[in-house]
């Protein structure tokens, strides 16, 4: 089983990588989706506050293992698909837990990088929550880094730079996924056009 972990700072383009992987027929998981499922399970509205609180809840008192158990259960429930793309892990502890639970599987890391000023512009155009601009991105950066994200980025096997047009980045992502995961381009659905 080949597992590619997608990591990066907020608004760097991780979700574009995941969506492109999905269009290539690759089984994908996102920690953001797991957080939203937990919010829904608790009967809470999806807001910036509930997103932040539930996301942080997974990092308190060793609950990182719980998040990894959910991911493993989803992989098992999908009958051990291959390859797998997982977006949004934030700490080396999570990687260790994943490797421990999926012993012997090939796990690699792809970091997505975008300069802070570009990520700020993207944040301003997102329809999520209340928009606080650059200050909000900087605050989110600090939270992500406090969990060890910089260590994951440093450990990455591949780096994609996302500082140009969306179309160019999608093409780069598609080519890189085909190369890294050794999959056929025929799986690609040219109908995807999601901004």
pLDDT digits (tens, 9 = 90+) for 58-82: 877 767 778 888 999 999 888 878 8
How far apart are alpha carbons 16 and 109 in whole angstroms? 16
pLDDT of residue 195: 35
Q: Is the dihedral of CA 142, 5, 24, 28 positive or negative?
A: negative
Nearest Cα residue to 12 out of 149, 146, 174: 149
- Percent of the chain, pLDDT > 70? 87
What DSSP character marks residue 104? T
CA 89 from centre of chain: 6
How far apart are alpha carbons 62 and 111 in whole angstroms? 24
Render pLDDT for 94-104 as a digit per residue (tens, 0 to 9). 888 888 888 77
- Assign 84 a pLDDT band (cuts: 50, 70, 90): very high
Domains of the chain: 2-182 (3.40.50.300)
């Amino acid at each position: 089983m080949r597992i590619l972990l997608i990591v990066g700072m907020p608004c760097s383009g991780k979700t574009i990588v995941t969506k492109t992987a999905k269009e290539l027929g690759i089984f994908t998981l996102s920690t953001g989706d797991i957080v939203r499922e937990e919010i829904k399970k608790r009967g809470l509205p999806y807001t910036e506050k509930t997103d932040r609180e539930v996301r942080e809840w997974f990092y308190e008192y060793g609950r990182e293992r719980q998040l990894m158990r959910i991911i493993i259960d989803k992989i098992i429930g999908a009958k051990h698909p291959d390859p797998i793309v997982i977006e949004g892990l934030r700490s080396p502890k999570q990687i260790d837990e994943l490797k421990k639970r999926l012993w012997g599987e090939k796990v690699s890391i792809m970091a997505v990088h975008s300069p802070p000023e570009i990520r700020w512009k993207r944040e301003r155009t997102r329809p999520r929550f209340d928009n606080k601009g650059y200050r909000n991105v900087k605050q989110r950066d600090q939270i992500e880094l406090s969990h060890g994200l910089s260590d994951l980025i440093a450990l990455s096997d591949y780096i994609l730079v996302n500082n140009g047009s969306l179309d160019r980045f999608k093409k780069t992502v598609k080519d890189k996924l085909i190369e890294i995961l050794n999959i056929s381009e025929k799986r690609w659905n040219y109908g995807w056009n999601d901004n």
